[in-house]
Structure 1
Amino acid sequence: MSDRRTAILQAATRVIARRGVRGLRMGELASEAGVSTALIYYHFTDRAGILRQTLEYIGDRADHYTAEDHPTPDQGRNQPKDPRADLEQVLLLELQDTTEVRENSTAWGELRATAVFEPELRQDLARSTHGWVHDIAGLLSQAAPDGTAPSHTAAAERLTALVEGLSVRWLSGSLPIEQARRLLRGAVEAELDTPRPGRAAPVAGGGFGGS
C-alpha cells in the first residue's frame, strides 16, 4: 500500500473516530491526510470506497496490535505461553489505553452503529466480523481441543461481542479499563470452564467475572 493511500486511511480512521461516519467530509479528510480531494477520489473512487477500505484498514491494524507476541500491559515479555494465555492475551490487547487502540475501537464502533442505517456497510462489516470470530474460534479450539467447532464459534461470538461492549463502556467513561479487563478474563474462564490455579471458579449464574 502506498504511503499516501495509508495516510488517507489513517486520517479517515481519525476523522470517523472524532466525528462519526456521517461527519466524514472529503474536505476535512483531505486536510487531515495532507492531500488533495482529487487524490482521495483517485485512490478510492467514492465515499463508499473510502469507508470499505477504512474498515479493512482498521481490521489489519487490530491484527497487528493484537499479535500474540505483544504482551498485554499487565504481562511480562518472558511469561510462559500456552493456548489459553494466547486467547486471553489477544482479547485483552483490544483493551489498551493507547491512541491507536482508542482510535481503532472508536472508529469500529461508529462504523457498526452506522451500518444500522446504511445497509451498504453491512456486508463488509459482516465479513470483517466473521474473520474476527473465526480467528478467536481457532484460538479457542487450541485452548479447549475437546470442544466442537460449533461450540468454539458460539463462544467466539460471545467473547468478541463482549469485547465490543466493554470497549464502548470503557471509551465512554462508564467502566474503568482495569475492570473491563477483569470482566474479560472472567468471561474467558467461564467459556473454557478451566480457571487458573489460585483463581476462584466463576459462580453459577453470576455472569461474566461477577464480583
Structure 2
Amino acid sequence: MSDRRTGILQAATRVIARRGVRGLRMGELAAEAGVSTALIYYHFTDRAGILRQTLEYIGDRADHYTAEDRPAPDQGRGDARDPRADLEQVLLLELQDSDEVRENSTAWGELRATAVFEPELRQDLARSTHGWVHDIAGLLSQADPTRTAPAHTAAAERLTALVEGLSVRWLSGSLPIEQARRLLRGAVDAELDGPAPGAVAGAVGAGFGES
C-alpha cells in the first residue's frame, strides 16, 4: 500500500474516531490527510470505498499491535509460547491505554454502530468480525485442545463481544481500564476452566431424568 494511501486511511480513522462515520466529510478528510479531495476519490472511488478500506485498515492495525507485543518464546530454553498466556495477552492488548488503541477501538465502535443504519457496511463488518473470531478460536483450541471446534467458536464469540463491550465502557469513562482488564482475565479463566458445554448439558439432562 502506498504511503499516500496509508496516510489517507490513517486520517480517516482519526476523523471517524473524533466525529463518527456520519461526520466524515471529504473536505475535512482531505485537510486531515494533507491531500486533495480529488486524490481521495482517485484512490477510493467513493465514500463507501473509504469506509470499507478504513475498516480493513483498522483490522490490520489491530493485528499488528496485538502481534507485536505478544510474548516471544524463550530462545535460550527453546520453550514454545504458553497458549493460555498467549490468548489472554492478545485479548488484553485490545485494552491498552495508548493513543493508537484508543483511536482504533473508537473508530471500530463507530463503524459498528453505523452499520445498524447503513446496511452496505454490514457485510464488510461481518467479514472482519468473523476473521477476529476465527483467530481467537484458533488460540482457544491451542489452549484447550480437548474441546470441539464449535465450542471454541462459541467461546471466541463471547470473548470478542466482551472485549468490545468492555472497550466501550472504558473509553466512555464508565469503567477503569484496570477493572476492564480484570474482568477480561476472569472471562478467559471461565472459558478455559469451566465445564465443557456438552458436560453442562449432560448434567442438566441427568438431573431432569431423576425421579
TM-score range, shorter chain: 0.7 to 0.9
Which residue of 2 is the match for residue 176 of structure 1? Answer: 176
Partner Cα distance (2:142, 2:98) in 1: 29
Which residue of 2 is the match for residue 97 of structure 1? Answer: 97
Which residue of 2 is the match for residue 162 of structure 1? Answer: 162
What is the percent sequence identity of the aligned residues? 92
Contact 1:68 1:90 in 2 (8 A): no
Which residue of 2 is the match for residue 48 of structure 1? Answer: 48
Displacement of 1:183 in angstroms is 0.1
C-alpha deviations, 1:31-57, integer Å up to 9, x for none? 000000000000000000000000000
Partner letter of residue 64 of structure 1? H
Structure 2 residue matching 1:66: 3-state secondary structure: helix
Larger Rg: 2
Partner Cα distance (1:23, 1:41) in 2: 17
Listed as ranges, the matches of 1:1-211 within 5 Å are 1-67=1-67, 69-70=69-70, 81-193=81-193
Contact 2:9 2:54 in 1 (8 A): yes
C-alpha deviations, 1:102-133, integer Å up to 9, x for none? 00000000000000000000000000000000
Partner Cα distance (1:193, 1:151) in 2: 13
Partner letter of residue 5 of structure 1? R
Displacement of 1:70 in angstroms is 3.2
Displacement of 1:167 in angstroms is 0.1
C-alpha deviations, 1:120-174, integer Å up to 9, x for none? 0000000000000000000000000000000000000000000000000000000
* Structure 2 unmatched ranges of 5 or more: 195-211
Contact 2:70 2:86 in 1 (8 A): no
**Cα RMSD between the aligned structures?**
1.5
Matched residue pairs, number?
188
Displacement of 1:81 in angstroms is 3.5
Structure 1 residue matching 2:147: 3-state secondary structure: coil
Contact 1:52 1:121 in 2 (8 A): yes
Partner Cα distance (1:153, 1:35) in 2: 42
Displacement of 1:80 in angstroms is 8.2
Partner Cα distance (1:95, 1:180) in 2: 8
Partner Cα distance (2:182, 2:80) in 1: 20
Partner letter of residue 70 of structure 2? H
Partner letter of residue 81 of structure 2? K
* Structure 1 unmatched ranges of 5 or more: 72-77, 195-211
Displacement of 1:69 in angstroms is 4.5
